[in-house]
């Protein structure tokens, strides 16, 4: 079984932004490119804010990229059975 999430494994290469200077000004600086950070940056930018998003690794590479983002309280089969299927 692959240990890399499908969406990261199949995504195009991320541009290398190492050492790129940050803008002098921003309306909002978001730390972290997970689900919450990306959503915050996206919605603020849509409202017209100049947003800077800072992520130490690849966007979505932390916990947000390793989960299925779903609640399954009513699952009727075991995790072992789901893996088998």
- 30 domain-assigned: yes
**3-state DSSP of the chain:** CCCCCHHHHCCCCCCCCCCCCCCCCCCEEEECCCHHHHHHHHHHHHCCCCEEEECCCCCCCCHHHCCCCCCCCCCCCCHHHHHHC
Instruction: Quick: pLDDT tens for 44-72.
Output: 999 999 999 999 887 877 777 666 656 55
What average pLDDT does the segment 12-27 reach? 89
pTM of model > 0.75: no
Query: How large is the greatest C-alpha to C-alpha distance in the chain, in angstroms?
Result: 53
Boundaries of domain holding 9:
1-14+24-70
| pLDDT confidence tier of residue 81, bands split at 50, 70 and 90 | confident
Give the count of domains, the chain. 1
Within a domain: residue 58?
Answer: yes
The better pLDDT of the pair 25, 17 is held by 25
Say if 77 falls within a structural domain: no
Question: 15 or 1, which is more confident?
Answer: 15
In a domain, 80, yes or no: no
How much is the pLDDT for 75? 66
3-state secondary structure of 28: strand
């Amino acid at each position: 079984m692959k240990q890399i999430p499908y969406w990261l494994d199949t995504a195009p290469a991320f541009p290398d932004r190492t050492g790129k200077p940050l803008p002098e000004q921003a309306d909002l600086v978001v730390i972290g490119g997970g689900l919450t950070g990306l959503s915050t940056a996206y919605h603020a930018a849509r409202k017209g804010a100049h947003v800077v998003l800072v992520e130490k690794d690849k966007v979505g590479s932390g916990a947000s990229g390793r989960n299925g983002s779903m609640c399954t309280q009513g699952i009727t089969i075991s995790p072992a059975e789901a893996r088998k299927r």
